[in-house]
Structure 1
Amino acid sequence: MAVTAVVAVSALLVSYREVVLSADGLRSQAAPAVQDVAATRLALLRADWEANRVRAKLNGVPGAGETYQSQLSAADQSLSRLAERTRDDLGTINGLLDSYGNSITLGALHYHDDRPMQDQKFSEAGSLLTRAEVGLVPRLDKLQDRQMNRAERLATMGTVGYTGWVVAELALLMLALTLLSALWVLRDRCGRDYNPWLLGALALTVALAVVPLLATTATQRHLDNARGKLTEITTVAEQTKRATNVRNTDARTKLDIAQNAVSKKSQEVRKELSAREWPNSVYYGALGGGILVVLLPAVGIGRRLNADYWRAR
């Protein structure tokens, strides 16, 4: 019973802890990183669209560039948050963002009366934004793929996780059968009443087999839902890649819809991953119950053997 209890509790705690850590990692780092990359990308596309849309209408009018500047500021803030949540080196992306912002501002505000210079600055900004492989948007695409792969790894229970749960549940089943056998021996062959220590260990064994598994199932369901919504966020961001090349109202509407959709889906992801107290409580409850499951049978049998020994003497 002691050996089986130790194996069962160890496998259970390790397997459940992996689920809790995966949920924490997805909640605190991977999911926000995916959201921040999508927000940065959409803000840049919207800033580029706004700057190109109003470039011919600025003519020195105060406040005409506020919309694209606010979008650039939003992109910079999203990138700053992203830097706190990822180990990727964002120095190149930050440098490109600064260069892009400088070029688009010069083209939109400072050279509005010098059409050749304005065209040159907007061409430079467009190259910084969309140039294949090395532009801002392609680099953000690659970063998005890495962050999404990380989120999928955290949200998916792999072969090791399933194996751990199988070992834990089989060991708990074996422990329950062993406890029942011990209770039957003491009751039937030794003429004893049911041992309360073994009964308590049996009840805890059943609880350990059921409660953490239910908690894991619920947590995994939330992780799957969050992963699906993160996939939708990346899909929305991907579908707007070409919107910045169109200068009509429909393109602006698509960008607005995309930004609102990303914001809404991000709130849904946070809601899916917000329940952190219950899984942690289950873990510490399983830890305490596991210690008792190891100790109760040993104490119960030890007391019984000790009583019989002194009675025999």
Structure 2
Amino acid sequence: MTTTGATSRRGHSLAAFWRGRLSPFRTRRLLEAHLLVLTVCAMVAVGSLLLSYHQTQRGVEALSSREAPAVQGLAAARLAVLRAEWETEVLLKRDLIHVAGSGETYRSQLSAAGQSLSRIADRTDQDLGTVNGLLATYGNSLNLGTSLYQDQDYMQEQKLKEANSLLTRPGVGLVPRLDRLQQVQMKHAEATAAMGWVRRGGWWVAELALTALALTLMSALFVLRDRCGRDWNPYLLAGFVLTVLLAVVPLLTTSSTEDDLDHALSDLQTITEVSRQDCCSHALAGAQQRVTETSEEIRGELGDDAWTDRVYRGTLIGGLLVVLMPATGLVLRLDSDYWRRR
């Protein structure tokens, strides 16, 4: 009995000894594991967040600086050449072709079409050379028919027919070519405004990593409080607050930006549809006015990027802090409680 009791006491003492030796070791290893997970999650989250947010900003910039002006310019050019044609027909029907200054309206429309195409030359990847050449030839035919040959009925009729053919001939005329350019440009605009799988995947990775980071921070806080008897670590608490902000603010801002892109894309579609009108001169003038007004709305929707720039800078600063602060808090605690004792 005595021998058995002594053996039992020695066994309990040995177990207590090893528990005392292993408990700090396990706690240190647990905190070091938290440090590793926090660092990895923070770096992945911040990297994905900044990349995805930057891609969204690039989409807005590309749509506002290239795709939207190109769509608007093509629509304006199409309406201008159609109105020039209608103004010429009005002159002929009302027999005003001999009146001094009567051709100024259609000439101004041709000039407006040329200016619209010139403004978008460096904002589209499409070749505008053929369209510009057709526009110049069409304008020359109109001028010959209304000015040089205004007293020669046969020649005038031939030149005006030639101008109409250059304008509307299926497949190769100026208007059909502008229609194809508009279709291609709208596809480019839609691709620019759409949130592709890369951008969408980046946001999913960022949000999942931030969620894992927040859970790991809470776990580290409870480990420090329960196993180490420490109060709430201010570095980890600040990191947790920053993590929540990074998970919410950039996502809400991007969601608002995506809504603006969708509205702008819808307005561009409206501009394209309005420019497809082929009716009287007054209706074309109204369509031109509507295109101008809608273009202003698009510039207003895509032009206010001050807030998104501030959010991006805040995300960059917050991302650096959310990487450094939790790691700093754990490193200081590990160094104070465990590493210096080894």
Greater shift, 77-86 or 35-44, is seen at: 77-86
Match of 2:180 among 134, 138, 142: 142
The aligned runs of 1:145-184 (5 Å cut-off) are 145-184=183-222
- Retained in 2: the 8 A contact 1:55–1:112? no
Partner of 2:29 in structure 1?
none
- For 2:102, the aligned partner's letter is A
Partner of 1:224 in structure 2?
262
- For 2:150, the aligned partner's letter is H
Match of 1:19 among 56, 59, 67: 56
Quick one: distance in 2 between partners of 1:223 and 1:202? Answer: 32
Partner of 1:277 in structure 2?
306
Quick one: distance in 1 between partners of 2:196 and 2:204? Answer: 13
Confirm whether residue 265 of structure 1 aligns to residue 302 of structure 2: no
Q: Give TM-score scaled by structure 1 length.
A: 0.94
The aligned runs of 1:7-86 (5 Å cut-off) are 7-55=44-92, 57-86=95-124
Quick one: distance in 2 between partners of 1:294 and 1:154? Answer: 32
Q: How far has the Cα of 1:59 moved from its partner?
A: 4.5
- For 1:169, the aligned partner's letter is E
Partner of 1:303 in structure 2?
332
- For 1:134, the aligned partner's letter is V
- Retained in 1: the 8 A contact 2:60–2:261? yes
Quick one: distance in 2 between partners of 1:273 and 1:35? Answer: 14
**What secondary structure sits across from 2:62 in the alignment?**
helix
**What secondary structure sits across from 1:85 in the alignment?**
coil
Q: How far has the Cα of 1:310 moved from its partner?
A: 6.7
- Retained in 1: the 8 A contact 2:138–2:167? yes
The aligned length equals: 304
**What secondary structure sits across from 2:121 in the alignment?**
helix
Unaligned runs of 5+ in 2: 1-37
Q: How far has the Cα of 1:199 moved from its partner?
A: 1.1
Q: How far has the Cα of 1:84 moved from its partner?
A: 2.3
* 1:42-85 CA distance string (max 9 Å, x none): 00000011012203524432101000011011111101111021
Partner of 1:248 in structure 2?
none
Partner of 1:104 in structure 2?
142
Quick one: distance in 2 between partners of 1:27 and 1:282? Answer: 19
Identity %: 56
Quick one: distance in 2 between partners of 1:177 and 1:310? Answer: 25
**What secondary structure sits across from 1:95 in the alignment?**
helix
| Cα-Cα RMSD | 1.3
* 1:235-288 CA distance string (max 9 Å, x none): 1112x13x2xxxxxxx12211221111111111111111111111221121111
- For 1:96, the aligned partner's letter is L
* 1:280-306 CA distance string (max 9 Å, x none): 221121111111111111111111111
Partner of 2:247 in structure 1?
209
Confirm whether residue 288 of structure 1 aligns to residue 317 of structure 2: yes
- For 1:97, the aligned partner's letter is L
Quick one: distance in 2 between partners of 1:162 and 1:311? Answer: 45
- Retained in 1: the 8 A contact 2:91–2:97? no
Q: Which of the pair has more CA radius of gyration?
A: 2
- Retained in 2: the 8 A contact 1:11–1:164? yes
- For 2:62, the aligned partner's letter is G
Moved over 4 A (4+): none
